Amino acid sequence: MTRTAAREIAVHFAFELGFTNQTAQELLDQALTRSTFEQIGEEEPLYAEYPNEAQRTYICTLVKGVYEHSPELDDCIAKYAIGWNFSRLNRVAIAIMRVAMYEILYMQDIPNAAAINEAVALTKHYETDEVASFVNGILGSFVRNECPPDPVHPRPEAQN
């Protein structure tokens, strides 16, 4: 399983958190099991392979982080979704942006550009190109305005 696939599973779980009263840990205890993957994997190729320990740790970190920081992440999304009421935003896009923003803010080993690119690709997989452009715009504005330049991965306008 790739990191991209593990991230997509984390997005699925983050999305599911929006429809349940379970905590992130309760959801993970129920869903991140071999038996669940075996059952779902028969119909959904993403779940055909059970994640190894490092991938499970990554998935858990993302899901728990999104759960614990949802108000902060949602405030950031709302701030950059100019002209949009948060309650009217696409819920799949919200789950994807929450995961990407969590990676940007709290997972320093993931370059900001990689988090954005993965979020846009994932959005294109589930939604229209217009929704993907919307996600790209919000995440790009967020990084430009809220994150200090990354000296290892500078923004294009900083390169001369």
Whether the predicted pLDDT of 158 surpasses 50? no
pLDDT band at 157 (very low <50, low <70, confident <90, very high): very low
Handedness of CA 28, 123, 114, 81 (dihedral sign): negative
Whole-structure pTM value: 0.88
Query: pLDDT, tens digit, for every residue of 67-119?
Result: 999 999 999 999 998 887 777 788 999 999 999 999 999 998 999 999 999 99
Could you say which of 3.40.50.880, 3.40.50.10860, 3.40.140.80, 1.10.940.10 is the CATH number of the domain covering 3-146? 1.10.940.10
Amino acid at site 14 = A
Q: What is the mean pLDDT of residues 148-152?
A: 61
> How far is it, in rounded angstroms, from Cα 58 to Cα 115?
14
**What's the CA angle centered on 119, arms 88 and 87, to 5 degrees?**
10
